[in-house]
């Protein structure tokens, strides 16, 4: 597998069996940076979430796999993390699992991009249906450039934080 360029699909074939053996799902894998210093970003998940210790375990395990298989000539950086609260949605199974949840979906059609925010109604046969404030949006998964869940708690916290930044906040605190 050694060679000047390795694709993300080739890496997935290499690491997914290892992840499954350890009980983790590969949520998203991406290779960024140049060919001289590639960075492999891996987002993993399992029921109940992922701990920092589990990310370290996966990193060590995949480090051994990469040492054995040598997918990159020279050096590279491996970053392993949980998908976080704004979890990326990549596959049909991801959209199905989070039906009913709010998501942000960036779509590209005929060279133009559009962003849709709404609740995931369904995702069947590579067709995603979102319920947005503007109505129903039907999207082919091949048109999705990027999608992620929207963390409702984070949005609420940001609104509270914005509210707390009242222009006379310091004066108001002194009056209490």
Helix (H, G, I), strand (E, B) or coil at 86: coil
Q: What is the band of 84 on the pLDDT scale with cuts at 50, 70, 90?
A: confident
* 23 or 163: which leads in pLDDT: 23
Domains of the chain with CATH codes: 8-81 (3.30.300.70), 92-154 (2.30.30.520)
Average pLDDT of the chain is 85
Please name the residue that has the structure tokens 């605190």: 173
Which residues, other chains included, contact 140 with Cβ-Cβ below 8 Å and sequence gap of 6+?
126, 127, 128
In a 10 Å sphere around its CB, with 0-12 CB exposed, 13-18 middle and 19+ buried, how is residue 14 labelled?
middle
**pLDDT confidence of residue 47:** 87
Q: Are strands 77-81 and 39-45 parallel, antiparallel or unpaired?
A: parallel
User: Which tens digit of pLDDT belongs to each residue from 85-100?
Assistant: 889 999 999 999 999 9
Q: Say yes or no to pLDDT of 37 above 90.
A: no
User: Do the Cβ atoms of 77 and 66 come closer than 8 Å?
Assistant: no
CA–CA separation, 129 and 127 (whole Å)? 7
Q: What is the predicted pLDDT for the residue at 59? A: 96
């Amino acid at each position: 597998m050694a060679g000047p360029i390795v694709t993300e699909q080739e890496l997935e074939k290499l690491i997914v069996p290892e992840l499954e053996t350890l009980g983790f799902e590969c949520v998203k894998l991406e290779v960024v940076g140049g060919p001289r210093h590639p960075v492999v970003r891996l987002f993993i998940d399992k029921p109940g979430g992922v701990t920092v210790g589990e990310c370290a375990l996966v990193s060590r395990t995949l480090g051994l796999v990469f040492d054995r298989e040598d997918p990159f000539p020279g050096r590279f950086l491996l970053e392993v993390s949980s998908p976080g609260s704004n979890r990326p949605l990549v596959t049909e199974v991801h959209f199905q699992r989070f039906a009913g949840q709010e998501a942000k979906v960036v779509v590209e059609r005929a060279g133009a991009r559009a962003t849709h925010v709404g609740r995931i109604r369904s995702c069947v046969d590579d067709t995603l249906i979102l319920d947005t404030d503007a109505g129903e949006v039907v999207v082919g998964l091949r048109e999705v450039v990027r999608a992620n869940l929207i963390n409702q708690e984070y949005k609420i916290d940001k609104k509270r934080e914005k509210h707390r930044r009242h222009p006379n906040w310091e004066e108001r605190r002194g009056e209490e």
